[in-house]
Every structure is written in C-alpha cells, then in structure tokens.
C-alpha cells in the first residue's frame, strides 16, 4: 500500500506537464464521453505550434474543445472519433476532424494499426489497494487498451466527482495507479444524458416489431425515441433479458418490475445518476468490455437474440446506409453490424433494421428513404445478404434468404404509399425484376406486411 501511495505522489503533475509529455508521432487513445481529458486538449491547443503529427482518437465527444473547430490544427494534429455526436459532425463539416470507418468490434485493432502508444483519460480515484476503476464509460473501451503492452505511456486524470466506479474484475474495470506514468488531479461534474421521447413514427415502427418479441428473448436495442417506445411495450412479453451495446435509464424500472431479468451492456447510453447507482449495487445489471458485448462470435452464441437497429436509407435489394447521408458521414458504424450479423447466426435470432419511410430536404420537399438503387457514392453500412427484417412505419418486410424479386416486392410495400408506384416503375427499368413479376401483386392491399411471428 505504501508503495502505490509513494508512486501516486511522485508522479503527480499539472495539466500543463501532462500536455508537455505528448511528443511528435504519439497516437493517443482518450476514452469516450466524460473520460476524454478536455482540459489537456485545450492546453495542447494553446501550444499547438509545439506539436506535429499527433493522432488523437476517442469515441463520442460530449464536451467541446477548442482544437475541434480550428482547421489550422490539421498541420499539428489528426483527430478522429469512432462515432459522431453533434460536436464531431460540426468539426467534420468544417474539415477538421477525420471521419472513421470501422465499427466498435474493431476499434482497438484500428488504434494499434495506427501505432497507438499512449492513453490519456479520466479514471476514478485509487481504492485502498491502488486500483483505479475506469468508470461507467471506461469499461467498454478503456479496459481493452490501457493494459495492453503496446501502450508505452499512460496519463491518468483522477476524477472523484465525474466518474462512477462499476463492479467487476480488475482486468475488466480497473488499472493500477502504478501503471500511470503521469497523474493529474482533475475533478469534473457528472453528466446525465436523458433519452429523447418517442415520435409518432417511432411508435408506429415499434408497433410493427413488438409482436415478434417473445418471452425469453435477449434484446439488443439502442437509446433514443424508438428504443424508449419498444422498452415501454415489453411488460406484456416478460420475462426478457437485454444483451446490448448501450443501456438506458428506463431499463432500471423494467428490472425492478421483473420484466427484465438481466441487463448486459457495453456502455451507458441515455443514463442518469439513478442508473449508475443501481448498476453499482444490483448484479442483474452489468457493463462489460466491447470485446464481449460487440463481438459477432459472442453474440451468435446467445440464443434468441433480437437485434433492433436504425438506418437512414435502404435500396430495394436491402443494402443499407446507416452511418451517412449519401457521402456525408453522420454518426458511425458503431456496433450495429456485429449485432445484425450475430443475430442472423444466433439460434432463434432475429434482426430488425428500422427507418422512417421519408425525409424532407432543406427546402421542405419530401423524399423516400426507400429507393430503387442507392445514389452514386452512398456509404453502405450493411450489405443486403445480412438483412433479415426491414421495418418502417408502414410495416415489416421479411427479406431474409429471399430472391431478388421477393426482396423488391416486400420493400416496396413498406415504402410511403406516395412512392410505391414510382419505385415499381423505376426498378422495372432494370434487369432485376419485370412488370410481369408484379402480376397479381397489390402494392396497396395493406399498409405493410409482416413475416410469421
């Protein structure tokens, strides 16, 4: 105990000193959300002329930092996030930050592919044995990188007020204080992220999915309006488990009511202090590293996985654009592909990819999100061969293992009624399907269609 305390005090430095420890050529992992050392980043920005070819990697910035919005930093820093929230989108639009292209199932590989050698992030204060819990946002990613021998420099920002310690084995949730080369005292405010309420379209899409969820299933779902609506409708299906990428506040209510018997996730999503306090005391809720939770081999071992994800646009073959709008990156690959593919291989697994049928452009003109073919240059997140069910507010299209004509007909029927005839006419100009293939097939006999539940 005395040894670690001695190391602690001997390696305490200021934020300025921590920033100076970064050298040209360093590739730095900075964690996600509130783990990111924003104070150090702003200190580095103030002395940007001292840095060259420093690569900064993180996931989901939840607080602005100066270099993110200054194009001149590109001669000194490379910046990238594995998933884009509004701050990253603003930076990308300004041509400052680079958009990443790999999913959470390969984020660690990407870090080391670029020669990752440094970790700088917030952790909890050391316990009586010198172990620093990586906190509620750290278990997903930090635990996989920080103890890797390829990392040669570790900077720990000890944060007693902004990080929630979580239960688990040291290898999954902690780093020892003696592994830090530089230690900075830097308390922050805890951050709550409330979920968005469901929209009318969210409610309609959820109504098309809930009938296909059965007692004993393991649900993968994200946070946001659609996730909130589906979770709110699970009380009649109980008992269920959650096996997912991100967890949400209202999962606590469902655990307490016995609707959910277990929640396993990789990271918080829309969570507040209430969730984190529950997590620290109730073994029915656990956060585990992404190597366990966002891994198609691990997912496929789970029986009856029900994967529910969202996309922006699909074509009539089922190719989906889920991370970008055309050639404009928006969010990121995230963990959706691992769950979509994992659910397909799971015994009894089902995968639902959801989208609203239309969008309006800046001039207010409405367009279909279901298109005959993807626009030139579209970034495809999910290939057609890995799709099972595509869902809009107009119904559910079962395209799993189907022929091309069957896929086309099913997807047209969940498009907005205004565009169904147009979609049919356009796709019939290709060699994929002909007018004769629509003989006896009505585009409007129902507002959608459903597979066997």
Q: Across the 453 residues of the chain, what is the mean pLDDT of every consecutive 10-residue run?
A: 87 98 97 95 97 96 95 96 94 95 89 97 96 91 87 97 89 92 94 82 96 96 89 92 92 94 90 87 92 93 96 96 85 90 96 96 93 92 94 97 97 97 97 96 69 39
Structure tokens at 178: 């003696």
Give me the pLDDT at residue 2, please: 64
User: Phi-psi region for residue 429, left (φ > 0), alpha (ψ -120 to 50) or beta?
Assistant: alpha
Query: Can you point out the beta strands (E) in 86-198?
Result: 98-99, 118-123, 131-133, 153-158, 174-176, 182-185
Structure tokens at 352: 């639902």
Residue 236: partners with Cβ closer than 8 Å, 6 or more residues away: none
- For residues 32 and 210, give the distance between their C-alpha atoms in angstroms, rounded to a whole number: 32
Give me the pLDDT at residue 223, please: 80
Instruction: Say what the pTM is.
Output: 0.91
Give start and end residues of each alpha helix (H) in 83-141: 86-93, 107-113
Taking residue 282's Cβ as centre, other Cβ atoms within 10 Å add up to: 14
Structure tokens at 84: 């884009």
Taking residue 150's Cβ as centre, other Cβ atoms within 10 Å add up to: 10
Give me the pLDDT at residue 191, please: 74
- DSSP code of residue 37: -
Give me the pLDDT at residue 450, please: 44
Residue 46: partners with Cβ closer than 8 Å, 6 or more residues away: 66
Under 8 Å between Cβ of 201 and 393 = yes
Dihedrals phi, psi of 182, to nearest 5 degrees = -135, 135
- For residues 306 and 201, give the distance between their C-alpha atoms in angstroms, rounded to a whole number: 20
- For residues 264 and 241, give the distance between their C-alpha atoms in angstroms, rounded to a whole number: 8
């Amino acid at each position: 105990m005395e040894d670690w305390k001695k190391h602690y005090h001997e390696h305490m430095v200021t934020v300025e000193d921590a920033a100076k420890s970064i050298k040209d050529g360093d590739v730095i992992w900075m964690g996600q959300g509130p783990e990111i050392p924003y104070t150090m980043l702003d200190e580095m920005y103030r002395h940007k002329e001292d840095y060259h070819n420093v690569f900064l990697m993180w996931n989901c910035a939840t607080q602005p930092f100066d270099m993110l919005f200054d194009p001149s930093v590109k001669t000194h820093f490379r910046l990238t996030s594995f998933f884009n929230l509004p701050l990253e989108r603003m930076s990308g639009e300004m041509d400052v930050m680079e958009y990443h292209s790999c999913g959470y199932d390969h984020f660690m590989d990407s870090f080391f592919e670029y020669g990752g050698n440094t970790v700088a992030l917030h952790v909890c204060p050391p316990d009586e044995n010198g172990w620093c819990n990586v906190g509620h946002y750290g278990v997903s990613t930090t635990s996989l990188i920080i103890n890797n021998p390829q990392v040669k420099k570790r900077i720990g920002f000890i944060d007693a007020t902004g990080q929630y310690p979580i239960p688990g084995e040291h290898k999954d949730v902690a780093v020892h204080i003696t592994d830090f080369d530089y230690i900075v005292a830097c308390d922050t405010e805890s951050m709550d992220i409330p979920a968005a309420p469901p929209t009318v379209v969210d409610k309609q899409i959820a109504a098309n999915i809930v009938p296909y969820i059965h007692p004993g299933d393991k649900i993968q779902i994200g946070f946001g309006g659609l996730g909130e609506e589906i979770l709110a409708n699970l009380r009649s299906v109980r008992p269920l488990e959650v096996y997912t990428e991100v967890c949400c506040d209202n999962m606590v209510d469902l655990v307490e009511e016995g609707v959910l018997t277990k929640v396993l996730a990789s990271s918080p999503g829309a969570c507040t202090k209430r969730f984190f306090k529950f997590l620290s005391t109730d073994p029915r809720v656990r956060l585990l590293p992404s190597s366990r939770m966002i891994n198609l081999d691990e997912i496929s071992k789970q029986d009856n996985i029900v994967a529910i994800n969202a996309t922006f646009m699909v074509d009539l073959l089922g190719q989906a654009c889920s991370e970008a709008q055309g050639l404009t990156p928006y969010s990121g690959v995230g963990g959706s592909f691992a769950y979509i593919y994992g659910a397909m291989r799971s015994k009894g697994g089902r995968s639902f990819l959801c989208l609203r049928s239309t969008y309006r452009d800046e001039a207010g003109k409405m367009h279909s999100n279901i298109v005959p073919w993807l626009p030139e240059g579209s970034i495809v997140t999910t290939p057609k061969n890995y799709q099972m069910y595509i869902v809009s507010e107009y119904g559910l299209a079962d395209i799993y293992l189907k022929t091309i004509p069957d896929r086309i007909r099913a997807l047209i029927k969940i498009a907005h009624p205004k565009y169904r005839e147009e979609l049919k006419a356009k796709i019939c100009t290709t060699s994929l399907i002909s007018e004769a293939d629509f003989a006896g097939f009505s585009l409007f006999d129902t507002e959608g269609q459903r597979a066997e539940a």
